[in-house]
Amino acid sequence: MQIMAPEADMKTFFRTHKWIRVLAWAALAAAAAALALVLFVALWPPFSGRISRPDRVIYTARAINYDGEHFFNAESPASGSWSDPGASLTSGRGTAPQGELPAGSPDFSAATEDGLSFTWLGHSTTLVQMEGLNILFDPVLSTLVSPVSFLGPRRFGAPPVTAQELPEIDAVIISHDHYDHLDMETIKAIDGKVKLYIVPLGIENDLRRWGVDGAKIRALAWWEELDLGGVTVVCAPARHSSGRNVIDENRTLWASWALLGEHFQVYESGSTGFGQHFQEIHNRYGDFDLTLMECGQYSADNHDIQMIPEEAVEAAEILGADAAVPIHWGAFALSDHAWDDPPRRFTLRAGETGLTALTPLPGETVNWEDALLSQAGQYQSHWWE
């Protein structure tokens, strides 16, 4: 009897059973694809930095809303279906404007030691100048908000300023790690003029991954405070989520922020659904002079973590705001509402309640005294119309 070599047996076997050969190649291809995906997620710079076991121990000790692996919202999601009660107020326009939006001319030199001014740069990017400090929220000056340079939501037009035109920044504050709030290319572009980054827990790993000096980073949990020298920065609750790839959902914290100075108090909502946290923040810190309220990119599908404009007005009133600014709109289409619905609905509701709504052009510097005292009505034009 002729005995065949093992190699010949295998060749004969695969020739005889072609379907097994196809399955074997398919399995190899799937394994290779899975390995490529794992390597892509692990090594591609815009994705999240690795959170270590010691990090998780620290987060568990400091954060009231961390279960050892994931952060969670303090309030449970609302039950049942929901429909937008203000949907009938839509302008009917598309999700993006026709042509570029108008832009103002910023005046970053107008800030004073005891004054307050701010410059909204589109979406949530806002420079607040108070108590002699320059504080920049969620800097995003890129054309796309995406982990890749060729695909993703595209900006309506050029940002009103470049990174080079920004002044020296005492602190950059990040609300959460979604691409429309934390942009790697913008961070790299402005890093040379930034003294300090203040971020929710977990985002420090992203910044270090992108080359930011760890000595310049302060990561906070909800209700933790940091003294900037004249301004106390409070990391406050929000109702949202986080994640920059398919496997890291809610592994970093999201937050709203309070700036408490000698002369002024400013609140920035981050991205958030409406909730009890607004009342708790007011209970702790009292009335705010200026509130920057997200009121865009909402839908029935994400209402639990994204306010509609009327809720943003209600939240500003709960916070005791002297004036409120609608943000999180005017740069990217991340939902299906008309691009100008957020400011239209926000100002309509504010007019009904008596809240002062400031709606400057992107890039227009607002001086607090001009806005509320000497020139009533300034910075309140409905320019989007």
How do residues 263-297 score in pLDDT, each as one tens digit?
999 999 999 999 999 999 999 999 999 999 999 99
| Residues 294, 268: Cα–Cα separation, whole Å | 8
Fold classified for 106-374: Metallo-beta-lactamase; Chain A (3.60.15)
Beta bridge partners of 235: 257
| Residues 313, 321: Cα–Cα separation, whole Å | 10
**Quick one: how many helices (H) and strands (E) in the chain?**
9, 14
Work out whether strand 290-294 and strand 323-327 pair parallel, antiparallel, or are unpaired.
parallel
Residue 306 has pLDDT above 80, yes or no: yes
The proportion of the chain whose per-residue pLDDT surpasses 90, expressed as a percent, equals 76
Beta bridge partners of 126: 120, 137
Q: What is the pLDDT confidence band of residue 37, given thresholds at 50, 70 and 90?
A: low
Residue 41 has pLDDT above 90, yes or no: no
Ranking 91-100, 223-232, 302-311 by mean pLDDT, the lowest is 91-100
| Residues 325, 356: Cα–Cα separation, whole Å | 9
Q: Which residue has the higher pLDDT, 268 or 230?
A: 268
Domain ranges of the chain: 106-374
pLDDT value, residue 48: 79
The proportion of the chain whose per-residue pLDDT surpasses 70, expressed as a percent, equals 89
pLDDT value, residue 86: 87
Beta carbons within 10 angstroms of residue 159's beta carbon: 23
> How are strands ordered across the β-sheet holding 126-130?
217-220, 197-200, 171-173, 133-137, 126-130, 116-120, 365-367
Residue 38 has pLDDT above 80, yes or no: no
pLDDT value, residue 15: 62
Residue 32 has pLDDT above 70, yes or no: no
Q: What is the pLDDT confidence band of residue 40, given thresholds at 50, 70 and 90?
A: low
SS3 label, residue 344: helix
According to DSSP, residue 281 is labeled: H
Measuring CA to CA, which residue among 189, 212, 65, 206 is closest to residue 139? 189
Using an 8 Å Cβ cutoff, are 316 and 293 in contact? yes
Using an 8 Å Cβ cutoff, are 178 and 243 in contact? yes
According to DSSP, residue 361 is labeled: P
How high does pLDDT run on average in the chain?
91
